[in-house]
Amino acid sequence: MVFRRRDRRPLWRAGLEMLWPRGGWGRAAQYVKHRVRRLPDTPEKIARGIWAGVFASFTPFYGLHFFIAAGMAKIMRGNILASLMATFFGNPLTYLPIAWSALATGHWLLGTWMDRELLGTERGGDCRIGCQFGNAFEDLWQNFVAIFTHDRMDWRGLSNFYEGVFYPYMIGGIIPGIVTASLCYYLSVPVIRAYQNHRRKILREKLAQLKNPADVQK
């Protein structure tokens, strides 16, 4: 096949590059920005897609950000491809500040304390945000397996996770998500418009050169 990779990557290498791309996340961000600006759509529609993708990054539904962003972009009549690319706003370099802002806001709105749940020492050692989500997925899987085995189902861990982490995260992510997504929208519209105008100007100049080759020789 023409488009098949010549060097097939092992699974561990593919997983590693999902966490840390070649050239780092800075280079990946530059690539995404370049691709977004070249999308064949109006600046406002592309920016609405960016809004949806950035906002989706502030939700606790890890693994579903693509679907949430695409659905929101469709409802908002935004560019779906731009929304998918904009979900990379949430990456290993930004997940921690995103989670902290969402949890802090959520606990503040609910009138509860964040440090006790977020920095708990269950299962030994500090169990921070990533550990909390990992333990929740582990409990969910064990309860699923218990349906087909003689193991006993235990929902206490998931209940504590929902009350202490997931629900505050979901509620608290709305405000910082809206603020950050709106900021990205208003910043991206003029940038995309300027880029598209500059690109059209270059294309017109090239077209004029093709129509009048004598002017180029002069």
> How far apart (Å, rounded) are the C-alpha atoms in residues 7 and 182?
41
Q: Where are the domains of the chain?
A: 42-192
* Structure tokens given for 13: 């290498």
Q: Which is more confident, 90 or 21?
A: 90
Model confidence pTM above 0.85 = no
* 51-60 residue pLDDT tens: 999 999 999 9
DSSP 178-204: HHHHHHHHHHHHHHHHHHHHHHHHHHH
* 42-93 residue pLDDT tens: 899 999 999 999 999 999 998 899 999 999 999 999 999 899 889 989 887 8
Give the model's pLDDT for residue 118: 59
Give the model's pLDDT for residue 54: 96
Nearest in space to 215 (alpha carbons), one of 199, 203, 205, 200: 205
How confident is the model over 26-33, as a mean pLDDT?
55
Give the model's pLDDT for residue 121: 38
* Structure tokens given for 193: 């418009």
- Whole-number mean pLDDT of the chain? 77
Q: Which is more confident, 108 or 158?
A: 108
pLDDT confidence bin for 96, thresholds 50/70/90: confident
